[in-house]
A and B are shown apart, each in its own frame.
Chain A
């Protein structure tokens, strides 16, 4: 009992082959789009690798790039096969390869589906990399004289301006680190000396933030220093003031940016996967339909196409049997070889 049988006459077969040829070339275009999406994500991750501790995982963009290239290759090959399917002479040279090729196509579709799933699920690893990277970024903010870290201030400032965020999880993160270099502190001033003595590590901590945390939508000029001291500024209450600085943390802002990027790429990959499954199913029908033709020497006859020759449990049993036979065949050959060798030795 074949699975999902469909009758095909000559005209239907020709139309199926032509339709598949067109779909394959569209799918090559989709493969190129997947490739460029992967490349774009890779570039975006590289751009901000400074705040990700240079240890971010490039698994998702690399797999998208790989799948895009494979999709182009497989689909152009399938397109060629469908084109040749209309000519019995050319089709004859493809015939022996079609069954293993279809198996490879099914495996590729499974891989494509897994990549789509990865796009949705791998956000979590990004979060921990970002938390660590941003912490380091803020720690090295003041080291503009240290080679290897001198760009960190610029990177953090530009990041906070572009993503409209401040600090790791909020602006108070800046209160806990020394972000003003000792080089620009007047160490003879009493106030500075008091602050440095007031904590164990001898750091100059202020309740202030860098200028890049300022929100341009605030109606008043930006208040950056003495943020927790209401009396330092006229008509200011730090507990109700919301527009002065960016309220979001950069970790959440970057996560949501990359998350939405990966979600849309996952959605695109799922669409391409559906398309590829349709193509594989169509190719299988074409394969089985054309197989029915070659038995009688009559190209105009009506044949049947199906997905599986027998129903699913029977096919699975037959597959296991063939595996066992393959194993037994090797065993018999090995025993024969041993038996052959023993009389020679003996």
Chain B
């Protein structure tokens, strides 16, 4: 049975491998903590911005998967640090011999799987944000007036706070407010002829005005905010609606939220990629260390040369042994590990 990707490891190389692995494991733990923090931040942002995303949008699953992946990366990092530290000390290594095997399997299958999944989500989900935001913001605009309806009574406050905080107005511009009824019927005087005219002027019987809520106002404007009669050039002195002015916020909330969430997702994605790389390196190094020390029979300080390898035999031999032993669990591991191992292998001979 020829071992897969063997590497000869004399005592000095083993020591250097263990030391390098210790450093990488702590870096992996740090990357895991960063992933946890970043996905926690995204989760908190989504709690507050989630009302502007359509419920069917799958974006909210990204921070949860990233949290799990970060936790597993942290665990792998801490375990790797402990194992590499113990491998330098003959007295501390024996209890780690038993743990190392399951740790490697859990790290590769669980951690690797979760990280790949999270990375895929971070790359693919922002595409669905566009549609989700379109629907979500549209619903928020329509429900702005429903401050008495249970389930939507906070829509006004949340929409106002969004426009105040993110400096935006409407979906793609302030004219979106002209197409929805944002004044509740409760505050419309049914005996006022002007109100009746407006309601009768459109098919759906909505009270539409060419005005916007106060939260669209831009404090940088030199004049007090003009919120009503925005399409009538003669309603306000010195006001020309065709001229770009500072009166209201110019950008729409759709673009602002899209940029915001996409930048958060791409930051999370880059941190996940770095964590994935570090995890692959740590797991590879641990495997080589484990097999080299097993070759010496678990004796750390032996001066002899040991051979480290990834797998004791080729794929076919491994499957045969696994089938003969009746261990079904081994079948999952070899199918996942070969693709990731070839590129980083060049780094190891330097250790």
Q: Interface on A for B, CB 8 Å cutoff?
A: 144-145, 150, 153-154, 157-158, 161, 179-181, 183-186, 210-212, 214, 216-222, 224, 233-235
CB-CB under 8 A from B214, the residues of chain A are 211, 214, 221-222, 224
A234 x B192 contact (CB < 8 A): yes
CB-CB under 8 A from A185, the residues of chain B are 237
CB-CB under 8 A from A221, the residues of chain B are 182-183, 187, 213-214
Bound together, the chains give a CA A214 to CA B157 distance in angstroms of 11
A220 x B224 contact (CB < 8 A): no
CB-CB under 8 A from A222, the residues of chain B are 213-214
Bound together, the chains give a CA A157 to CA B164 distance in angstroms of 11
Bound together, the chains give a CA A220 to CA B182 distance in angstroms of 9
Select B223's contact among A161, A183, A212, A224, beta carbons within 8 Å: A183
Q: Nearest Cβ in chain A — how far from B326, in angstroms?
A: 59
CB-CB under 8 A from B223, the residues of chain A are 144, 180-181, 183-184
B148 interface contact, C-beta 8 A: yes
Contact residues of A: prevailing secondary structure:
loop
Bound together, the chains give a CA A190 to CA B227 distance in angstroms of 23
The residue of chain B having its C-beta at the shortest distance from the C-beta of A212 within the complex is B219
B237 x A184 contact (CB < 8 A): yes
Bound together, the chains give a CA A159 to CA B142 distance in angstroms of 30
Chain B 129-154 interface 0/1 with A at a Cβ cutoff of 8 Å (1 = within): 00000000000000000011000010
CB-CB under 8 A from A179, the residues of chain B are 224
CB-CB under 8 A from B219, the residues of chain A are 153-154, 157-158, 161, 212
B188 interface contact, C-beta 8 A: yes
CB-CB under 8 A from B187, the residues of chain A are 220-221, 233-235
CB-CB under 8 A from A186, the residues of chain B are 237
Known: A186-B237, A217-B157, A219-B184. A150 touches B222 (CB 8 A): yes
A211 x B225 contact (CB < 8 A): yes
Of residues 90 through 121 on chain B, the ones whose CB sits less than 8 Å from some CB of chain A are none
Which residue, of A154, A161, A216, A220, has the highest number of chain B Cβ atoms within 10 A?
A: A216
B156 interface contact, C-beta 8 A: yes
A161 x B164 contact (CB < 8 A): yes
A183 x B238 contact (CB < 8 A): yes
B24 interface contact, C-beta 8 A: no
A145 x B188 contact (CB < 8 A): no
Contact residues of B: prevailing secondary structure:
loop
Sampled A-B contacts (19; CB under 8 Å): A158-B219, A161-B164, A179-B224, A180-B223, A181-B223, A183-B223, A183-B238, A184-B224, A211-B214, A211-B224, A211-B225, A216-B161, A218-B156, A219-B184, A220-B186, A220-B187, A221-B183, A234-B188, A235-B187
B227 x A211 contact (CB < 8 A): yes
What 10 A-B pairs come out closest when comparing CB atoms?
A: A216-B160, A157-B219, A144-B222, A219-B147, A234-B189, A186-B237, A222-B214, A211-B214, A214-B214, A211-B225
B184 x A216 contact (CB < 8 A): no
Q: Interface on B for A, CB 8 Å cutoff?
A: 147-148, 153, 156-157, 160-161, 164, 182-184, 186-189, 192, 213-215, 217, 219-220, 222-225, 227, 236-238
Select B224's contact among A145, A154, A180, A235, beta carbons within 8 Å: A180
CB-CB under 8 A from A217, the residues of chain B are 157
Bound together, the chains give a CA A195 to CA B187 distance in angstroms of 28
Bound together, the chains give a CA A221 to CA B153 distance in angstroms of 13
CB-CB under 8 A from A224, the residues of chain B are 214
CB-CB under 8 A from B160, the residues of chain A are 216
The residue of chain B having its C-beta at the shortest distance from the C-beta of A206 within the complex is B224
Q: Nearest Cβ in chain A — how far from B214, in angstroms?
A: 4
CB-CB under 8 A from B213, the residues of chain A are 221-222
A220 x B184 contact (CB < 8 A): yes
CB-CB under 8 A from A157, the residues of chain B are 219
CB-CB under 8 A from A211, the residues of chain B are 214, 217, 224-225, 227
Select A210's contact among B147, B182, B224, beta carbons within 8 Å: B224
CB-CB under 8 A from B182, the residues of chain A are 221
A153 x B222 contact (CB < 8 A): yes
The residue of chain A having its C-beta at the shortest distance from the C-beta of B182 within the complex is A221
The residue of chain B having its C-beta at the shortest distance from the C-beta of A235 within the complex is B187
B225 x A210 contact (CB < 8 A): yes
Known: A184-B238, A211-B217. A216 touches B156 (CB 8 A): yes
Bound together, the chains give a CA A175 to CA B183 distance in angstroms of 26
Bound together, the chains give a CA A125 to CA B44 distance in angstroms of 39
Select A219's contact among B156, B188, B192, B237, beta carbons within 8 Å: B156
The residue of chain B having its C-beta at the shortest distance from the C-beta of A192 within the complex is B237
Bound together, the chains give a CA A95 to CA B324 distance in angstroms of 81
Q: Nearest Cβ in chain B — how far from A210, in angstroms?
A: 6
The residue of chain B having its C-beta at the shortest distance from the C-beta of A184 within the complex is B223
The residue of chain B having its C-beta at the shortest distance from the C-beta of A233 within the complex is B187
CB-CB under 8 A from A219, the residues of chain B are 147-148, 153, 156, 184
CB-CB under 8 A from A216, the residues of chain B are 156-157, 160-161, 164, 215
CB-CB under 8 A from A153, the residues of chain B are 219, 222
CB-CB under 8 A from B157, the residues of chain A are 216-217
Q: Nearest Cβ in chain A — how far from B248, in angstroms?
A: 10
CB-CB under 8 A from B161, the residues of chain A are 216
Known: A181-B222, A212-B217. 9 other contacts (CB 8 A): A145-B222, A161-B164, A161-B219, A180-B224, A211-B217, A219-B153, A224-B214, A234-B192, A235-B187
